[in-house]
Amino acid sequence: MSGRHYLEVWDVAKSFKGTNVMLGMDFRVDRGELVSLLGPSGCGKSTLLRIIAGLLNADDGSVVLDGRDITHLPAHKRNVSVVFQNYALFPHLTVAENVAFGLRARGIAKSATSDPVKEVLSLVRMSDYADRPITALSGGQQQRVAVARALVVDPDLLLLDEPFSALDRKLRETMQVELKALLRDRGITAIFVTHDQEEAMGVSDRIAVMNAGKIEQFAAPSTLYAQPETPFVMDFVGLSVRITGRVTATQSGMATIDTAYGPVQARTEVGVGGTVLMCVRPELVSIDGGENTISVVLEDVMVLGSKTMLHGRASGEDRILCELPGIRTGLSRGETATLGWALEDTLVYEVTP
Amino acid sequence: MSSRVDRIGLLAVPGLAFLALVYALPLLMLLAKSIQTPDGLSFAEYSAFFADDYNMRVLMRTLRVAGLTTLLALLIAYPTAFAMNRAKGPWLTVFLVAMVLPMSLGVVVKAFAWSILFRANGFLNTMLQWIGLTEKPVRMLFTETALVVGAANVFLPFMVLPIYAVIRQMDSRLPEAAASLGAGPFFRFFNVTLPLSLPGVVAGSAFTFSMAISMYVIPSLIVGERQQTMSMLIARSFLYLRNEPLGATISAVLLAIAVFVVIFSSWLARRLGARQ
C-alpha cells in the first residue's frame, strides 16, 4: 500500500487535554497536486497541517512523504515549508535575509545564497525590495516574501495556512491566480488550509472538506459542488436551498415528501416515515416552473449586479433561495412567487429528526 | 487638533516642574560645586581625582562590580524570562510574585539575611565543611564575590522584567517558521530568538548596570569600609571629610558614567529596534 501516493497520512489521532480533535485521519495527496483543507474553525484543519509540518506531534498514526516515514522527524529535518497566516517574517531581517534564512539554516555560505535568493525574489516580483526591512512592506508584498522564503529551499511539500486571509478581496484574487501559476510552474505539491470555500475552489485540484476532526468529502471542486455527499458539505460549499420534510409515499425510488410548502417529489432510497433534508443549488431554482414547484412569499430581493438573489420566507431551519442571472426587475418583497426546480437537481439526505 | 495636543502637553507640567525642582536644580548646584574654587572656576578637582591611585582603584572596582553584577543577573534572568513566558495561570502568578515581592523587602533586611548564609559559621560554610569540600570556613562575607551575588539578587527583577516584556511580545510563530525552514534549535536560538530578545537584554542591562554603579547600601552592608565603591567615596567626602568639592566631583564622574550608559543603551536599543 505504502508508496502509492506522494503524501500519505495514516490513521492520525490527536487530542488536546483529553479531548479528541482528530481520530483515525487518513489523507493522501499525489505529487504536484494543489490540495485544500477546507472547514470551519476548530474542524482540525490547522491541527492536520501542523502535524504534517512537524510542528505538532500526532498521538497516533503516521505521516509518509515520498516513501519516507517522517512521523517522528522534527520540523527542521522534514524539508516541508510553511507559509503562515500572518507570514511570520523575521522582523529583524531584510527581505533578502528573510528569503536566505532557509539556505543559511542548511549551512550554505552567505555568499552562495545571493543567486537563489535573487531568482525567487524575481519569481515573486520582489527584486526591487531585496534590501528593504520587512516592516516597510504592504500585506501583499509580505505574502510574496513569505512565499519566496518558503520556496527558495526547494521544499518537498509546501503548506499554506490561510495565506490570503490578511489581504483585501481584490488583492486576494490577484494573489491566488499568481500563486497558483507559480506553484504549477515549479511542480510544487502544496496544501492550503482555508475556511473560505471560494478560495479553496479557486486554488485547488482537490478539496478535503473537514468537520469535527474528520474529512467529510475529498474531491475535485466541481464534484464537491455538484455531488456533495453530506449535508455538511452541501452547506459549507456554496449556498443551497434547504427544506426538511417527511416521506409520505414511495414508488420505484420516487418519494413524495411532505414539506411546510406542500408536497414535493424527489428520488431517494429513504422509506415512508423517514425525515429528509432536500437541497437544491439556488442557481438551479427558477421562477418559470419545474418538476417541483412551491409558492413562497419573497422576503427580500437582492440585486447584486451579475445576479439577482430571491430570499423566500422559510419555516424553521429551512432556507429558500433562488438565484437568477443578471438584473431582474418586477419582483419585489412581499409578493408571492412560484419557485421551481428539476428532479435531477434535487439532492436528498436522510436526517435524524 | 493642535490645541488638543497642547492641552495634553499641559499634563506633563506638574511632572516636569517636580523634576526640575527636586532633581535638576540640586544636581546642577552640586555639579557647580565641583568646579568652584576660591580662585574661580577650575577643573583642578577632576585632575586631582583622576591622578589619585586609590580613587582609580575604587572607580575600577565599581565598574567591575557593576559589570559582573549585570552579567550574573543577565545569566540568571534570561532563562527565567523564558520560563515565565511559558508559565501559565497560577505558575505565572508565582513567578511574578517571586519577582516583585523581594523588591518590597528592604535591602537592609536582605543583607542581614545573607550574612546568616555567608558568615564563617553560617549555613553555606557549615554545608561545605559537612560535605568535606573545605577544612576551614571559607571567607565569603566582605568579599567582592559576595557583593556581586548580593547585588545581582537585589537587581534581578530589573533584568528579568524588561526581557520578559520583550519575549512576551515576540510572535511565537517565528521560531516555528524558522524550524519549518530547516533551522535546528541552535540556529533558531542564535538567529531568531536571541536577536529579537536583545532590546530587552539591553534595557535590563542598562537598568541593572546604572543601579549597580551607584549602589551604596548593599556594599556598605556586605563589604563594609574595607572595599570602597564610588557611592561610598561620595558619602565619605560629604559626611566625614566635609569636602564638598571632592564629593561633587566624584558625583559628577558617576553621573557621567550613568548618562553614558543611558545614551549608549538607548542608541543600541534604537539600532536594534529600527530593524524590527
Determine, for residues B180 and A54 on separate chains, whether the beta-carbon distance falls below 8 Å: yes
**B166 close contact with A: CB closer than 8 A:** no
- Across B45-63, average pLDDT: 91
Chain A CB contacts of B191 under 8 Å are 101, 104-105
Higher-scoring residue by pLDDT: B66, B120:
B66
| Residue keyed to cell 525567487 | A120
Mean pLDDT is lowest, of A131-145, B135-149, B225-239, for B135-149
Quick one: pLDDT at residue B106?
Answer: 78
Q: d(Cα A237, Cα A225) in Å, to the nearest integer? A: 6
Mutate to test the interface with B, among A76, A103, A135 (most CBs of B within 10 A): A76
Mutate to test the interface with A, among B176, B180, B196, B201 (most CBs of A within 10 A): B180
Quick one: pLDDT at residue B198?
Answer: 92
CA A339 to chain CA mean position, Å: 30
pLDDT band at residue B91 using 50, 70 and 90 as cut-offs = confident
Is the model's pLDDT at B120 over the cut of 80?
A: no
Quick one: pLDDT at residue B1?
Answer: 47
Q: d(Cα A37, Cα A204) in Å, to the nearest integer? A: 10
Chain A CB contacts of B178 under 8 Å are 76, 90, 101, 105
**A55 close contact with B: CB closer than 8 A:** yes
In this prediction the pTM is 0.82
End-to-end, the C-alpha distance of chain A in Å comes to 40
Sign of the alpha-carbon dihedral angle for A67, A73, A78, A84: positive
Q: How does DSSP classify residue A331? A: -
Q: How far is CA B84 from CA B80, B151, B171, in A?
A: 6, 22, 16
Q: d(Cα A191, Cα A78) in Å, to the nearest integer? A: 15
pLDDT band at residue A285 using 50, 70 and 90 as cut-offs = very high
Quick one: pLDDT at residue B44?
Answer: 85
| Residue keyed to cell 501583499 | A140
- Across A215-235, average pLDDT: 93
Mutate to test the interface with B, among A78, A92, A110, A149 (most CBs of B within 10 A): A92
* Contact in structure between A158 and A150 (CB atoms under 8 Å): yes
Per-residue 3-state assignment (H helix, E strand, C coil) for chain B: CHHHHHHHHHCCHHHHHHHHHHHHHHHHHHHHHHHEECCEECCHHHHHHHHCHHHHHHHHHHHHHHHHHHHHHHHHHHHHHHHHHHCCCHHHHHHHHHHHHHHHCCHHHHHHHHHHHHCCCCHHHHHHHHHCCCCCCCCCCCCHHHHHHHHHHHHHHHHHHHHHHHHHHCCCHHHHHHHHCCCCHHHHHHHHHHHHHHHHHHHHHHHHHHHHHCCCHHHHHHCHHHCCCHHHHHHHHHHCCCCHHHHHHHHHHHHHHHHHHHHHHHHHHHHHHHCC
Quick one: pLDDT at residue B137?
Answer: 79
Quick one: pLDDT at residue B128?
Answer: 84
List for chain A the helix, strand, coil content (%; round to 5): 30, 35, 35
Shortest Cα distance from B182 to chain A (angstroms)?
Answer: 4
- Closest to B206 measured CA to CA, from B125, B167, B263: B263
Quick one: pLDDT at residue B68?
Answer: 97
- Across B86-114, average pLDDT: 82
**Cβ neighbours of residue A64 under 8 Å, at least 6 residues apart?**
A2, A3, A7, A8, A9, A10, A70, A71
* Contact in structure between A35 and A200 (CB atoms under 8 Å): no
Is the model's pLDDT at B155 over the cut of 80?
A: yes
| Residue keyed to cell 566624584 | B250
What's the whole-number average pLDDT of chain B? 87
**B176 close contact with A: CB closer than 8 A:** yes
Q: How does DSSP classify residue A200? A: H
Residue of A nearest to B186 (CA): A105
**B181 close contact with A: CB closer than 8 A:** yes
End-to-end, the C-alpha distance of chain B in Å comes to 30
Quick one: pLDDT at residue B89?
Answer: 83
Quick one: pLDDT at residue A1?
Answer: 45
C-alpha grid cell for residue A320?
A: 429558500
**B133 close contact with A: CB closer than 8 A:** no
Which helix (H) or strand (E) element contains residue A27? strand A19-29
**A96 close contact with B: CB closer than 8 A:** no
The complex scores an ipTM of 0.84
- Output the CA torsion B44→B46→B49→B52 (10° steps): -70
C-alpha grid cell for residue A193?
A: 488550509
Per-residue pLDDT of A110-151, as tens digits, reads: 999 999 999 999 988 899 999 999 988 998 899 999 999 999
- Closest to B195 measured CA to CA, from A98, A130, A264: A98
Quick one: pLDDT at residue B274?
Answer: 58
Quick one: pLDDT at residue A65?
Answer: 95
Q: d(Cα B171, Cα A251) in Å, to the nearest integer? A: 62
Let me know how many helices (H) and strands (E) chain A has, helices first: 8, 19
Is the model's pLDDT at A221 over the cut of 80?
A: yes
Q: d(Cα A341, Cα B13) in Å, to the nearest integer? A: 76
What's the whole-number average pLDDT of chain A? 91
Is the model's pLDDT at B205 over the cut of 50?
A: yes
Determine, for residues B180 and A101 on separate chains, whether the beta-carbon distance falls below 8 Å: no
pLDDT band at residue A82 using 50, 70 and 90 as cut-offs = very high
* Contact in structure between A25 and A12 (CB atoms under 8 Å): yes
- Across A36-46, average pLDDT: 92
Count of positions (residues) in chain A:
353
pLDDT band at residue A188 using 50, 70 and 90 as cut-offs = very high
Quick one: pLDDT at residue A72?
Answer: 93
Highest mean pLDDT among A80-84, B6-10, B100-104, B245-249: A80-84
Coil, helix or strand at residue A113:
helix
Count of positions (residues) in chain B:
276
